[in-house]
Structure 1
Amino acid sequence: MAKNSKNSRNSGRLKVAMIAPPWFEIPPSGYGGIEAMCAVLTDGLVNLGHEVTVISAGANGTRGQHVQTYATPQWERIGGLQEELFHMAAAARALDRMEVDIVHNHSLGGSLLARGLSVPTVSTLHGPLTDEPGDYYRLFEKSASYIALSDSQRSGADDINWCATVPNGVQVADYTYRAQKEEWALFLGRCTPDKGMHLAIDIARAAGMKIRLAAKCNEPPEKEYFRTEIAPRLDADVEWLGEVHGHAKTELLSRAKCLLFPILWEEPFGLVMIEALASGTPVLALRRGSVPEVVEHGVTGIICDTAEQLTYALKEVSDIDPRKCRQAAVRRFDASVMATRYEAAYRDLIAR
C-alpha cells in the first residue's frame, strides 16, 4: 500500500497524498475551514515544485491531481461514521496504486491507515484534544505523527506523537486591503455559543458602535442559538447577514473597523483572525485558545480578559495601523509560509 516514490526525494521534489475530509469540496464554495486550508496548502506545495494528489469528495478546484471518493460531498451527513469509513476505505484503495513520499491526512479516520503504510503518515489535527479526541490519537503511539495548529492546541494533549506546529495560512493576495475603515464592527463565524456572537453584539452596543453579523446558521443547534440569543438582540444597530463567502466576505473583512472575536472556548486556531489581518483589519479578541499566538497585542489587535475590557478596547481600535495588520499576515500567515513549514515537516519525517 502506498509504494515509496523512487526519484522524488533525490531530486528534491516530493510526492504528497493529501487526504481531505469528505464533507465539502476542495476548496469549499462557502463554509469549510479545513477544506479551505487543504486547498491553500495544496496550491502552495505545487508552487514549491511538489506533486500533490488530493483525495476528497466532489470536484477538485486545486492545482493538484485528484482522486475522488464520493461524487458529491457529504455535508448533509457531516460527522457520520459510515461516510467517514467509506471515505477512508476509498482513500486506502487509491493509495494502493500510488507512489508517494508522504501521506498528509486531515480526516478523522486517517490515522487508521498509518500502520498499513510503508511511507510516513502525518495528520494535521484541526479540533480540540481534550478527553476522547486525545485518547483516540494516543492509541496510535508511534505509527502516526501529528501536526498542531497552535501551541495552545498542543498543550491539550502534549503526550501524543507531535512532530511540528504549523499555523494555518491564507493566500493573502486574495484579500482586499483597505486602510480606510468604516464605523462598524464585524462578527464572522458560526452561529454557536462558543463563538460568542451574543457577546460581540453586547460589546459593540455598549461601545456605541454598529455591528454586522455574518455567520453560518443551518444546523438545528445553530438555529436554536440564533432564536434564543441573537434574534432578541437584533435592532437598528445590529445587522444580520447570514452566511457570506467569496467577494461579499472579502468586502466585509476589508471595510470593517475591526473583527470582534470574543470566543468562549479554547479554539485551536481561528482562521477568520488571519483573514481579517490579511484585509488590514485589526482583531479584538478574548484571551482564549490560539488568540495570543495569532494577534500581536497593540500591533495587530487588542487582547482582553473580559467582555467589559473589549468594550473599552473597541473605542481605541483606531490606534491600530491597518498596514501592520497586512504586513503581519504576509510575514506570518501567507500560504507560501505555511507550505514551506509543511515541506520542512515532511522532509523531517521522511528522513526519520
Structure 2
Amino acid sequence: MSTPGIRLEVRSYMATSIGVFGRRHAPRNVGDSSGLRVAMVAPPWSEVPPKGYGGIEAMLSDLVGGLIELGHEVTLIGAGRTTTKAPFLRTYRRAPSERIGETMPEVLHTAIAARLLSQLDADIVHDHTLAGPLTALGRPAPTVVTCHGPVDGELGEYYRTLGDRISLVSISLAQRTYAPDLNWVGQVYNAVDTRTFPYRERKEDWVLWIGRFAGDKGAHLAIDAARAAGRRIVLAGKLVEPAEFAYFNEHVRPRLGPDARYEGEANIVRKRQLMAAARCLVFPITWQEPFGLVMIEAMACGTPVVALGLGSVPEVVVDGVTGFVRRFPHELPAAIEAVDGLRPADSRSHVERDFDVMAMSTGYERVYREVVARAGLPVR
C-alpha cells in the first residue's frame, strides 16, 4: 500500500474519530460500575480476527467481544478489516502480512495509531504492538501493554527503559520470572471463546501439529515423535517468511511422507475441524514460550496436549488430566500412546473454567480500573 493512500485513510478517520467515544461526558467515579472507554491497538500484521495464523489477533478479537459484553466501550485500531462489534479505526487498508519482519509497517502503523488516539476520549489505551508504547508519554490516558513475547534480552530492556510510563501485563507466570523487576501490574492468561470450538468425544487415529514453522516450535520433533509412536501426523502451519521456508525445507520437508502430511495453513474453520478430530495435539516447543494459544484451542475441543514442559506449558496443561507434560523429546511417543486413558471432557472443562473469554476479560477489567485509579485520573 502506498503512503499517499494511507494518508487519505487517516484523514477520513481523523474527521470522524471524535465521535467514536464522544466528548464532554459527565464525570464518573473510577470505582463505580460504569463501563470504561478502552482504545485497543492491534499489531498491523493480520486482521482481527485473523483468517489463518495469528494468535495475538485471535486473542484480541475475543477480548474485544468480552469487554463489550461486560459493558465497556471499545474502539479497535488495526489494519485491514474486522468482524468484531467494536468501532474500527484502520491504519492499513490491507494488513501487510507479507512484510512481517520489516520495520516500516510497524513504525507507520504506530504513527497513524498515535494520531488516531489523540482524537479519542479514552479512559485507557491497551497496546499490543512493539513500537506503540513509545507514544504512551504523549497522551493523558494511561497505557497498558500486554507482553506477548519473551521479556528477557533487548525486549526486557526496552520495557525497563520505558519504566512506569507503561503498565505491563504478563500472559503467564513463567514469563515474568525472566524480568521480575519490570512494571508489572497484572497477569492475565490468554483465552478462547469455547462456544466457537466444537467439542468431540471420539477422536480419529492421527495426531496434529499446528503453528508457525520455526525451529523452536518443534514441527520436526512432532513428526519424529508421531512416527516413533506409529501414528500418522498432520501439520498445519504458517509458511510465509524466508526463515520459515528455510526451516521447513531443511527440517520438515525431508521428513514428510505417507504418515506425515503438510496440508498448508489452516483457516479458522479448518483449524477447528483438525483440532476436534485429532487424537492429540503435539506441542514440542524448545524455547520458553510465554503462552501457546493452540494448547487451549485444542483442549477446548476435548483434545489433549502432549508437550515439552517449557515456558507456560506446566501452567496450561494439567499433566495426566488434560494431556502430558514431558521433559525430553524421547518421552513424547509414549505420551502420545497414553492419551487413550484421558477423558476429553476434562480438557474441555479445564478451558471453560480457567481459559474462557470472560475469565480473560474480567482479568483485564480489573487491570484497567487499577491502572486508571493509580494514575489519579477521573473517568470522564
Q: What TM-score do you get using the length of structure 1 for normalisation? A: 0.97
Matched, 1:235 2:286: no
Distance 1:11 1:240 in 2: 50
Residues 252-331 of structure 1: pairs in structure 2 closer than 5 A: 252-331=274-353
Partner residue of 2:36? 14
Alpha-carbon spacing, 1:310–1:301, altered in 2? closer, same or farther (3 Å)? same
Gaps of 5+ in 2: 1-17, 375-380
Partner residue of 1:335? 357
Report how far residue 7 of structure 1 moved.
4.2
Partner residue of 2:198? 176
Distance 1:28 1:249 in 2: 12
Match of 1:163 among 163, 174, 185: 185
Report how far residue 60 of structure 1 moved.
2.1
Distance 2:134 2:329 in 1: 42
Matched, 1:131 2:131: no
Aligned residues: 352
Matched, 1:244 2:266: yes
Query: Residue 185 of structure 1 contacts residue 259 of structure 1 at CA under 8 Å; is this kept in 2?
Result: yes
Distance 2:299 2:189 in 1: 14
Query: Residue 5 of structure 1 contacts residue 100 of structure 1 at CA under 8 Å; is this kept in 2?
Result: no
Partner residue of 1:140? 162
Matched, 1:30 2:62: no
Partner residue of 2:215? 193
Distance 2:33 2:247 in 1: 54
Report how far residue 81 of structure 1 moved.
2.3
Query: Residue 170 of structure 1 contacts residue 335 of structure 1 at CA under 8 Å; is this kept in 2?
Result: yes
Gaps of 5+ in 1: none
Partner residue of 1:213? 235
Q: State the SS of the aligned residue for 1:316.
A: helix
- CA displacement 1:166-191 (0-9 Å, x = unmatched): 11011111011001011111101111
Q: State the SS of the aligned residue for 2:208.
A: strand
Over the aligned positions, Cα root-mean-square deviation in angstroms equals: 1.6
Q: State the SS of the aligned residue for 2:306.
A: strand
Aligned sequence identity (%): 48
Query: Residue 53 of structure 2 contacts residue 237 of structure 2 at CA under 8 Å; is this kept in 1?
Result: no
Q: State the SS of the aligned residue for 1:27.
A: coil
- CA displacement 1:254-293 (0-9 Å, x = unmatched): 0101000000111010000000010000000001010001
Q: State the SS of the aligned residue for 1:59.
A: coil
Q: State the SS of the aligned residue for 1:269.
A: coil
Q: State the SS of the aligned residue for 2:237.
A: strand
Query: Residue 110 of structure 1 contacts residue 123 of structure 1 at CA under 8 Å; is this kept in 2?
Result: no
Partner residue of 2:12? none
Distance 2:142 2:273 in 1: 41
Q: What TM-score do you get using the length of structure 2 for normalisation? A: 0.90
Query: Residue 4 of structure 1 contacts residue 118 of structure 1 at CA under 8 Å; is this kept in 2?
Result: no
